[in-house]
Amino acid sequence: MDEGYEKIMEIIEMNRFRQRLGLLDYTACWEEPDRVKGLDIEATKNRVCDLIKSKGLKDKTIADKLGITPQAVNKWRHKGSFFVIENLYVLSGLLGVSVDNLLVPVAVKKWEVLIEKR
C-alpha cells in the first residue's frame, strides 16, 4: 500500500495548480502492474521484438552485447523460446528503455482516488 500512497502524493504534488481553482473535488486515476499475477511472456517477447525492430538492431549486435550467439537471439525472436531474464538489464540499455517498460504484466491494477478539498 506504500506504493499507492506514494503515487497519490506524487499526483497531488503534480496538480498543485488546482488550488487556484478553489474548493473543488477531483479524482486522480492511474494504472500500475499487478505484480502478484505475473508476466505475460508472449506479450513481453512481442514488445521486446517490436522495440528491436524499431531501433533497427541486428541479431549480431544484440548477441555481442549479451555475450550469446546470434543464433540464440534469432531463436528467441522468431521460434517462440524466450531469452534469459538476466539479459533484460543489458537489453533495456540497448533499447533505451527501463526494464519495467520491457515487461508486460498479465493484469493491471486501476486506481481511482477522490481528493476532496475541505
Structure confidence by residue, pLDDT tens digits, 56-92: 999 899 999 888 888 888 887 777 666 677 788 889 9
pLDDT of residue 72: 85
CA dist list (Å): 106 to 39, 41, 51: 5, 9, 19
Q: What is the mean pLDDT of the segment spanning 33-50?
A: 86
pLDDT of residue 96: 93
Q: Say if residue 45 is in the same domain as residue 97.
A: yes
Q: Say if residue 26 is in the same domain as residue 54.
A: no
Which residue range forms the structural domain that includes residue 25? 2-35+107-115
Q: Say if residue 64 is in the same domain as residue 95.
A: yes
Which of 24-28, 57-61, 92-96 is the least confident region? Answer: 24-28
- pLDDT exceeds 60 at position 23: no
Threshold 0.85, pTM exceeds? no
**pLDDT tier for residue 28 given thresholds of 50, 70 and 90:** confident
Instruction: State the total domains in the chain.
Output: 2
